[in-house]
């Protein structure tokens, strides 16, 4: 009962944050509501017994990635977005389509996958076991992701560096002589 209560409260906070992300017009407000979504998702992970994933969610997602987002928003001085009017046909068919689709998906999920239930702390995912899996069964994917992160770092540096700096560093002694 308490499990269901905690799930409902944080699920509602999560959905409210997601809707607030859509409604807000300033990017910084959207970013802060995304932090709320990620924090409440971490609580949902804890309810599912995934403590390692919950910790990584808070550290990597709510910490590192969102700091990067806020940093870029501040750096580019992003202002209020100006909305463009959608077409009337999209409104006419889109909203009923979304409603029908979501009700259908929710009905199917509630009817056909509601057999099992998840107990609180049913599957504790201790970091020890996760680490063993990561460095034993998933060693090759782990190494591949490390290469991916290295490539991403180099790509980000190349993309974000100023073009004039790149040209100057390519011809260091062009104007000296």
The tokens of 96 are what?
């009923």
Tell me the CA end-to-end span of the chain in Å, nearest whole number: 80
Angle between helices 139-160 and 127-136 in degrees, nearest 10: 90
Name which of 89 and 174 has its Cβ closer to another protein. 89
Q: Indicate whether 125 belongs to the interface with another protein (CB under 8 A).
A: yes
Q: Indicate whether 174 belongs to the interface with another protein (CB under 8 A).
A: no
Name which of 163 and 177 has its Cβ closer to another protein. 163
φ, ψ of residue 83 in degrees (nearest 5):
-85, 150
Q: Indicate whether 31 belongs to the interface with another protein (CB under 8 A).
A: yes
Q: Indicate whether 58 belongs to the interface with another protein (CB under 8 A).
A: no
Name which of 169 and 175 has its Cβ closer to another protein. 169
**Cβ count within 10 A of residue 57:** 20
| Cα torsion 55, 59, 61, 63: sign | positive
Q: Indicate whether 27 belongs to the interface with another protein (CB under 8 A).
A: yes
Determine which residue in the list 103, 104, 105, 166 makes contact with another protein, applying CB under 8 A: 105
In the range 126-165, which residues lie near another protein by CB under 8 A?
Answer: 129-130, 133-134, 137-138, 141, 145, 148-149, 151-153, 155-157, 159-160, 162-163
Find the shortest distance in angstroms from Cβ 174 to another protein. 23
Residue 58 contacts residue 36 (beta carbons within 8 Å):
no
Q: Indicate whether 118 belongs to the interface with another protein (CB under 8 A).
A: yes
Residue 125 contacts residue 49 (beta carbons within 8 Å):
yes
3-state secondary structure of 87: coil
Name which of 115 and 177 has its Cβ closer to another protein. 115
Find the shortest distance in angstroms from Cβ 38 to another protein. 6
């Amino acid at each position: 009962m308490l499990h269901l209560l905690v799930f409902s409260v944080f699920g509602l906070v999560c959905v409210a944050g997601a809707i607030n992300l859509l409604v807000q017009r300033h990017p910084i407000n959207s970013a802060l509501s995304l932090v709320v979504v990620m924090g409440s998702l971490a609580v949902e992970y804890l309810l599912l017994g995934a403590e390692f994933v919950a910790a990584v969610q808070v550290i990597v997602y709510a910490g590192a990635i969102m700091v990067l987002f806020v940093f870029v928003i501040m750096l580019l001085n992003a202002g209020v977005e100006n909305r463009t009017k959608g077409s009337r046909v999209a409104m006419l068919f889109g909203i009923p389509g979304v409603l029908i689709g979501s009700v259908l998906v929710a009905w199917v999920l509630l009817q056909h996958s509601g057999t099992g239930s998840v107990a609180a702390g049913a599957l504790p995912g201790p970091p020890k076991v996760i680490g063993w899996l990561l460095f034993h069964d998933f060693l090759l994917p782990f190494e591949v992701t490390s290469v991916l992160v290295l490539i991403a770092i180099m790509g980000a540096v190349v993309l974000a560096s100023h073009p004039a700096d790149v040209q100057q560093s390519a011809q260091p002694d062009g104007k000296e002589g």
